[in-house]
């Protein structure tokens, strides 16, 4: 029996969906807001997710953003179910990786047909990922993949890095797969004049260093601790052995590589076409991972992430503070209005 997660803040709609899906012989789990939805998805690992867009705590776009970057949930078919049917909203959802978009009020037959089609497509994709072995096909199991890689990381050396400690340098040969147990790490490139450009921030529960290990090339960027970190160090030989011998792990890292390329393309487009205000707002949204919480990041690092000058970032943050979108101290930025930052006009 396929398991479907329904994330919907309106009780009547949520109960109606639950009843329809149970009658269609699906196992159903529900969540009343986006934050609970993310937690439930990570715990239950459903076969498909139905998610409203406009919700308290965390909206549907934020839910999709978090789940698509988490290896255990990145491949789960994701369908938006919402009263918002503008072309811009549709495009935003599909750009983030949604599989479909059903407007409210919805037709029950259309809903069930869409769910069935997405589950069948997901099954075909998983089947294609299997080796040709003559045995009965087994679908890729994301939870087993995560368990295998976490077991590998959990039994390895755990190193502690202080804030601003270097972890590896551009041009070094990769010897480790890094798994962030706590803290944040910035990945950056340096030009001929020594100016840094941060390509991304890696946080708790994420991997780094796998691209160059799989390509067997030196590091193309450097890594430095943004704050105090604990990092599990997996020897490259053991990581490669796991990838070559465990199809679930191999598929998981292929998906991570795909997301990495897509995110870098989106970064370049944003740098080329977005205003400074929108770039700063988008960066704060990404760093907060959909939560109204404090972000600990130096102003010069934030400037490097957004591709602008430190002085410009400071002025923009001051404007956001005056607009009551954020609150700032010398060492932190607290998100006060996530939705307005997320929907910042260009």
Beta strands in 246-285 (DSSP E): none
Whose CA is closest to 238, among 173, 167, 159, 152?
152
Alpha-carbon distance of 70 to 68, in angstroms, equals 6
Which of 32, 29, 94 has its CA nearest to residue 61? Answer: 94
The label of the residue with tokens 């978090």 reads 66
* Predicted local confidence at residue 85, as pLDDT: 56
Q: Among all chains, which residue has been given the structure tokens 């789960």?
A: 76
DSSP-derived 3-state class of residue 314 = helix
The pair of structure tokens assigned to 230 is 């604990």
* Among 181, 183, 184, CA closest to 158: 181
- Whether 223 contacts 170, CB under 8 Å: no
**pLDDT tens, per residue, the chain with 346 residues:** 899 999 999 999 999 999 999 999 999 999 999 999 999 999 899 999 999 988 877 888 889 988 888 878 888 999 988 775 555 666 666 666 788 888 887 788 888 988 998 888 877 666 554 444 443 334 445 666 767 776 776 667 789 999 899 999 999 999 999 988 888 999 998 877 777 888 888 888 888 999 899 888 999 899 999 889 999 888 889 889 888 888 878 887 887 787 777 677 667 777 777 888 988 888 888 777 655 567 888 888 888 888 888 899 899 999 999 999 889 887 788 888 888 887 888 7
Render the burial of 218-243: b for 16+ CB within 10 Å, e for the rest: ebebbbbbbeebebbbbebeebeebb
Q: Give the pTM.
A: 0.52
The C-alpha atoms of residue 91 and residue 129 are separated, in whole angstroms, by 28
* C-alpha span between 157 and 220 (Å, rounded): 24
Please report the pLDDT score of residue 131 as a whole number. 47
pLDDT of residue 169: 93
Q: How far apart are CA 285 and CA 115, in angstroms?
A: 30
CA distance 70 to 77: 14
- Phi, psi dihedrals of residue 35, rounded to the nearest 5°: -65, -45
* Helix, strand or coil, per DSSP, at residue 271: helix
pLDDT of residue 83: 73
Dihedral (CA of 179, 216, 239, 77) sign = positive
Q: In 10 A of CB 318, how many CB atoms?
A: 12
CA distance linking residue 179 with residue 202, whole number of Å:
10
Question: 294-303 burial string, b = 16+ CB within 10 Å, else e?
Answer: bbebeeebbb
Strand partners, 12: none
């Amino acid at each position: 029996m396929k398991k479907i997660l329904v994330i919907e803040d309106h009780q009547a709609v949520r109960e109606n969906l639950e009843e329809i899906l149970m009658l269609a012989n699906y196992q159903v789990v529900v969540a009343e807001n986006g934050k609970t939805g993310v937690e439930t998805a990570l715990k239950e690992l459903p076969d498909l997710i139905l998610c409203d867009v406009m919700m308290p705590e965390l909206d549907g776009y934020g839910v999709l953003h978090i789940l698509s970057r988490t290896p255990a949930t990145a491949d789960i078919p994701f369908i938006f179910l919402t009263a918002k049917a503008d072309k811009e909203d549709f495009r935003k959802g599909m750009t983030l990786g949604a599989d479909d978009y059903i407007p409210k009020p919805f037709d029950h037959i259309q809903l069930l047909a869409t769910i069935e089609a997405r589950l069948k497509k997901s099954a075909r994709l998983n089947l294609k990922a299997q080796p040709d072995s003559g045995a009965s096909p087994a679908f890729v199991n994301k939870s087993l993949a995560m368990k295998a890689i976490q077991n590998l990381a959990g039994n390895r050396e755990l190193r502690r890095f202080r804030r601003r400690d270097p972890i590896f340098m551009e041009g070094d040969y990769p010897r480790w797969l890094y798994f962030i147990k706590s803290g944040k790490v910035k990945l950056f490139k340096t030009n001929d004049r020594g100016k840094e450009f941060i390509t991304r921030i890696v946080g708790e529960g994420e991997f780094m260093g796998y691209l160059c290990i799989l390509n067997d090339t030196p590091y193309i960027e450097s890594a430095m601790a943004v704050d105090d970190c604990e990092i599990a160090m997996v020897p490259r030989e053991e990581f490669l052995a796991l990838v070559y011998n465990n199809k679930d792990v191999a598929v998981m890292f292929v998906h991570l590589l795909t997301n990495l390329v897509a995110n870098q393309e989106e970064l370049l487009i944003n740098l080329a076409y977005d205003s400074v205000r929108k770039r700063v707002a988008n960066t704060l949204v990404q760093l907060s991972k959909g939560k109204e919480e404090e972000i600990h990041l130096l102003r010069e690092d934030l400037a490097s992430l957004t591709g602008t000058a430190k002085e410009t970032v400071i002025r923009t943050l001051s404007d956001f503070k005056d607009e009551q979108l954020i609150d700032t101290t010398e060492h932190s930025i607290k998100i006060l209005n996530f939705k307005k930052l997320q929907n910042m006009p260009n």
